[in-house]
A = this chain, B = another copy of it.
Amino acid sequence: MGLCMSLAGRDIISIRDFTRFDIDHMLSAADQMELQAKSGSDILRGKIMATLFFEPSTRTKLSFESAMYRLGGSCIGFAEPSTASVQKGENLSDTVRVVENYADVLVIRHPLEGASRLAGEVTDVPVVNAGSGSEEHPTQAILDIYTMKREFGHIDGLKVAMVGDLRYGRTVHSLAYALSLYKDVKLCLISPDLLRMRHEVLEDIGRNIDFEEGKDLGKILGEVDVIYMTRIQKERFADLAEYEAIKGSYRLTQADLKHCKKGAIVMHPLPRVDEIDADVDGTIYARYFRQVWYGVLSRMGLLALILGAIT
């Protein structure tokens, strides 16, 4: 499309709501934030962000709050529903219509698919989806893409391995959609059978992006630019023996990285458990902690855009 549509006042619900032009716009907003992040800024002074977390997620909440404070804004909200009036039986749309009076932007995390979309329909205040159900986590996808942009200078042409739980992990779906907006990106989807990416996601992204599926990370390790690791949760397996058998083969160690492509990077949405051995942390490949910093920058950029502080 390439048409310039302002992001001021827009909701950030699904990565699928945006064009490549929009995403590029968000990435360059993130670029502008580096200086402001370090020196502090006042461009969101007087603005209030409400975090409505119906499901706990400390790191996402702190990342948004850090972004808001670094731009001079304020934060209110709740971290879990137990302390919220949802206990009194209030429905989500009433909660949203109340909180829109308290804040200039709402950041919502909810266990149910569609919750953020509903919230966005109910209120005129911009809504940011900070994770809903098992499918969407758009700001994570933006920070992931931004990490690649910063580390390689471009996204077009990258070869990206996604490894581990591709079925339930909400970050990988949003990231796959985001990558499918770019040119000549190739995805290697590495997972046990039980945790393969869902058919409908594959069908959707398959129109724009080349992908192959596999079970063996070792086979493609020498070819990819990005190794995007994810956590495999024990709870996904009915048979614990199966989990134990699989676990080891989706674990990255320093030894494995000897077979890497030159300049390759390792990413992870965090928290990790043991998918990435601690001995990887000190290598030239590790980017998962720097990724956290890029997350602050990209959320600063998003907040500044949708609140109209930058264009």
Contact = CB atoms under 8 A, between A and B. Distances in A.
Interface of A: 39-41, 45-48, 50, 56-59, 62-63, 65-66, 69-70, 72, 74-80, 82-85, 87-90, 94-95, 97-99, 101-103, 231, 270-273, 289, 292-293, 295-296
A125 to B, nearest CB: 12
Nearest to A46: B40
Contact of A102 (B39, B79, B88, B296): B296
Contacts of A57: 85
A214 B32 CA distance: 64
Contact of A50 (B50, B62, B295): B62
A6 B102 CA distance: 28
Contacts of A102: 62-63, 65-66, 292, 296
A140 to B, nearest CB: 14
Give the interface centre of A45, A292, A296 by most chain B CB atoms within 10 Å.
A292
Contacts of A85: 57-59, 271
B89 A273 contact: yes
A65 B76 contact: yes
A62 B79 contact: no
Contact of A273 (B66, B82, B88, B272): B88
Contact of A77 (B62, B72, B88): B62
A283 to B, nearest CB: 15
A58 B40 contact: no
17 contacts: A40-B47, A46-B72, A56-B82, A58-B78, A59-B85, A59-B98, A62-B76, A65-B102, A66-B101, A75-B76, A79-B83, A90-B273, A94-B271, A94-B272, A98-B270, A98-B292, A101-B295
Contacts of A78: 58, 62, 79
A30 to B, nearest CB: 14
